[in-house]
């Protein structure tokens, strides 16, 4: 590794598995001091062990419900107090509710917005003054290709929620620019994680130009670029990382 995040403090949500775990490992390997959180205490603790065994530095809290503004604020304050500052916030965590629109319920809608939008909004709100105090930094939000198109499966609330997340970055980029805060979005396509593994079929891979679905490390590589000083002139961007899946979207789950 090349120390691309040396000296930086990175807060990463959803580090108990999948993309969040891969991000914690890669960011720490690149020199960042990492603060993670998750709903799953066991998964979160295992990620800390993996990072520290590899020679990295990481602290974590779990369970943390980031859709609760008090819990989101407490986690950010814990990280800032322990690590001294905040340079990067990677809003990776999320969850979705599927099903046909005709069968949608108010409870399902509210749960989806809570798990898609609130858990990005409240950590960002809590981290903002710390980024200002640090003289700038990077916020990376996770949206999805379903924010802009459908693949024919029943994920309307997921797409709406991720559309809201994708619309967040331009507004914050304008407000954050004078403070040196860059705000960008990653929109992954279908990526193999513990959450998606049971949904992936051979047809999903066949309908991707590269002949496979994504790996967490491939999403994290883009997040690393956006967290690093290499992207110092990149803000308000929405970067699609889908292996070309979105040009062949009639089937699959995102």
pLDDT at 254: 43
How far apart, in whole angstroms, are the C-alpha atoms of residue 191 and residue 212?
Answer: 9
Which structure tokens are listed for 221?
Answer: 């590589």
How far apart, in whole angstroms, are the C-alpha atoms of residue 77 and residue 100?
Answer: 40
pLDDT at 156: 78
Higher pLDDT, 28 or 109: 28
DSSP 77: H
Q: Across all residues in the chain, what is the average pLDDT?
A: 90
| Residue 154 falls inside a structural domain | yes
Indicate the number of domains in the chain. Answer: 1
Average pLDDT value for residue range 7-30: 98
| Residue 216 falls inside a structural domain | yes
| Residue 233 falls inside a structural domain | yes
Q: Using one digit for the tens of pLDDT, what is the confidence trace for 103-131?
A: 888 888 898 899 999 999 999 999 999 99
| Residue 241 falls inside a structural domain | yes
Average pLDDT value for residue range 224-247: 94
Pairing state of beta strands 33-37 and 88-91? Answer: unpaired
Average pLDDT value for residue range 154-167: 84
Q: Does pLDDT of 2 surpass 90?
A: no
Q: How confident is the model at residue 60 (pLDDT cuts 50, 70, 90)?
A: very high
| Residue 103 falls inside a structural domain | yes
Q: Using one digit for the tens of pLDDT, what is the confidence trace for 197-232?
A: 666 666 566 677 888 888 999 999 999 999 999 999
| Residue 251 falls inside a structural domain | no
Q: Whole domain around residue 23: which residue ranges? A: 9-245
Give the closest residue to 76 by CA, choosing from 31, 7, 135, 134: 134
Which structure tokens are listed for 106?
Answer: 């108010």
Query: Which residues pair with residue 240 across a beta bridge?
Result: 187
Which structure tokens are listed for 65?
Answer: 């419900």
pLDDT at 230: 98
Which structure tokens are listed for 190?
Answer: 């279908």
| Residue 36 falls inside a structural domain | yes
| Residue 88 falls inside a structural domain | yes
Q: How confident is the model at residue 245 (pLDDT cuts 50, 70, 90)?
A: confident
User: Which CATH number goes with the domain that contains 219?
Assistant: 3.40.50.720
CB atoms within 10 A of CB 24: 30
Q: How confident is the model at residue 253 (pLDDT cuts 50, 70, 90)?
A: very low
């Amino acid at each position: 590794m090349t120390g691309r995040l040396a000296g930086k403090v990175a807060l990463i949500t959803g580090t108990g598995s999948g993309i969040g775990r891969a991000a914690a490992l890669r960011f720490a390997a690149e020199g960042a001091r990492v603060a993670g959180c998750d709903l799953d205490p066991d998964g979160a603790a295992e990620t800390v062990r993996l990072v520290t065994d590899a020679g990295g530095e990481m602290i974590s809290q779990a369970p943390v419900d980031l859709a609760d503004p008090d819990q989101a604020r407490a986690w950010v304050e814990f990280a800032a107090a322990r690590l001294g500052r905040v340079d990067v916030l990677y809003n990776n965590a999320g969850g979705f509710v599927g099903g046909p629109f005709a069968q949608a319920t108010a409870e399902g809608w509210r749960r989806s917005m809570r798990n898609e939008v609130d858990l990005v909004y409240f950590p960002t709100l809590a981290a903002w003054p710390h980024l200002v105090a640090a003289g700038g930094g990077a916020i990376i939000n996770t949206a999805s290709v379903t924010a802009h198109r459908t693949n024919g499966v029943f994920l309307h609330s997921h797409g709406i929620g991720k559309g809201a997340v994708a619309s967040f970055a331009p507004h914050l980029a304008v407000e954050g620019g004078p403070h040196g805060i860059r705000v960008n979005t990653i929109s992954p396509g279908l990526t193999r994680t513990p959450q998606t593994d049971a949904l992936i079929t051979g047809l999903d891979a066949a309908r991707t130009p590269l002949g496979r679905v994504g790996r967490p490390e491939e999403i994290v590589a883009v997040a690393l670029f956006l967290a690093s000083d290499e992207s110092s002139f990149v803000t308000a961007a929405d970067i699609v990382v889908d292996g070309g899946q979105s040009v062949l979207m009639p089937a699959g789950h995102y």
